[in-house]
């Protein structure tokens, strides 16, 4: 999931205290990694001993005092250079060991230096969905898709990865013969402007249709497409390597004219960042780096028909099967199950 950390990092593990006899945690038991060597300010600390049954509980205490409960790993963000300490509390029964990890960050996050701050992120640590941020959307059938969205059985969180699995449950080739998952943050996490980044690995196979997108919070009052839709990433399995982004408004929707595309050879084998830089003037879509823009939406005339993008939007992550676009060239039933993997969702906004 995450590449080894290549920046200069000072780390050690020190047994602070314990009650009674308890397996000692060595430096080798706590490894450090980052998801992208070009973004080394996001640090992931990995506990490598949980599966041995040595501990019942692990908590990660940040320099701010915030405590995160996660047995396997924890990802945190240090935007500025400096020395930091993270305390890892290991518990077995009534015995406790505290390990200190001393981390040196060599440089500021360049985007932080440019005036951006991380305002929300889900690194999918732990082993369950954060229901304060997300909910499973189930009672929805759109675009002539064939899957049924379940309340949770097609969603898994493990080792810092969200997995959405599409399964063939019936004979196939019709609605209801497949199940999958759809998550959104409506009413929980909604944002107006900012840089949105989602790191994901996509499924392959004819008939798959994963998407990372956003809808305007006014959906329930003015309906679609008047509320606006931002498709950060859409991929259809019959057109491998092609990544699509689009905008839907009352001026152009459905087979919208406002769209762009790029190609990624390793869309199904490697994680890539699917990004949106959204300001009051335009929306830039990019892959892997904010400098790698492949489509910009910036209408000359901005009104309610062309620019509903002046209100907060919420995230949707879903994996469809078939449908008007995804199933345009049929669905290959031999491919299932198939997985869509999401490493994180991050939102940056100006300070």
| Residues classed as catalytic | 229, 234
Nearest Cα neighbor of 177 from 161, 193, 166, 186 is 166
* Number of Cβ within a 10 Å radius of residue 258: 18
The CA distance from 256 to 115, in Å, is 34
- 74: β partners: 45
What backbone torsions phi and psi does residue 256 show, to the nearest 5 degrees? -65, 145
Nearest Cα neighbor of 97 from 15, 11, 13 is 15
DSSP SS3 for 340: strand
């Amino acid at each position: 999931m995450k590449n080894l950390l290549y920046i200069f990092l000072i780390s050690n593990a020190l047994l602070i205290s314990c009650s009674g006899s308890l397996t000692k945690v060595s430096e080798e038991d706590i490894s450090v990694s980052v998801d992208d060597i070009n973004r080394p300010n996001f640090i992931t600390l990995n506990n490598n001993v949980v599966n041995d049954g040595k501990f019942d509980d692990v908590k990660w205490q940040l320099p701010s005092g915030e405590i995160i409960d996660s047995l396997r790993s924890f990802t945190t963000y240090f935007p500025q250079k400096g020395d930091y300490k993270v305390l890892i509390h290991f518990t077995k029964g009534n015995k406790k060991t505290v390990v200190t990890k001393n981390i040196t960050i060599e440089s500021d996050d360049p985007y932080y230096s440019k005036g951006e701050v991380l305002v929300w992120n889900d690194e999918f640590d732990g082993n369950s969905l954060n229901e304060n941020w997300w909910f499973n959307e189930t009672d929805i059938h759109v675009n002539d898709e064939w899957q049924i969205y379940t309340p949770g059985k097609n969603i898994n969180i493990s080792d810092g990865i969200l997995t959405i699995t599409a399964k063939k449950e019936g004979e196939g080739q019709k609605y209801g013969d497949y199940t999958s998952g759809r998550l959104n943050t409506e009413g929980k996490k909604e944002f107006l402007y900012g840089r949105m980044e989602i790191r994901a690995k996509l499924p392959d196979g004819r008939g798959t249709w994963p998407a990372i997108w956003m809808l305007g919070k006014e959906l329930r009052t003015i309906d679609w497409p008047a509320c606006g839709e931002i498709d950060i990433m859409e991929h259809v399995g019959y057109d491998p390597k092609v990544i699509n982004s689009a905008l839907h408004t009352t001026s152009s929707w459905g087979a919208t004219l406002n769209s762009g595309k790029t190609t990624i050879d390793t869309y199904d084998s490697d994680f890539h960042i699917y990004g949106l830089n959204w300001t009051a003037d335009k929306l830039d879509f990019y892959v892997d780096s904010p400098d790698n823009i492949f489509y910009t939406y910036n209408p000359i005339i901005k009104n309610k028909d062309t620019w509903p993008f002046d209100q907060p939007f919420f995230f949707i992550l879903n994996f469809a099967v078939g449908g008007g676009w995804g199933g345009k060239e049929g669905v290959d039933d031999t491919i299932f199950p198939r997985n869509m993997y999401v490493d994180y969702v991050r939102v940056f906004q100006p300070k």
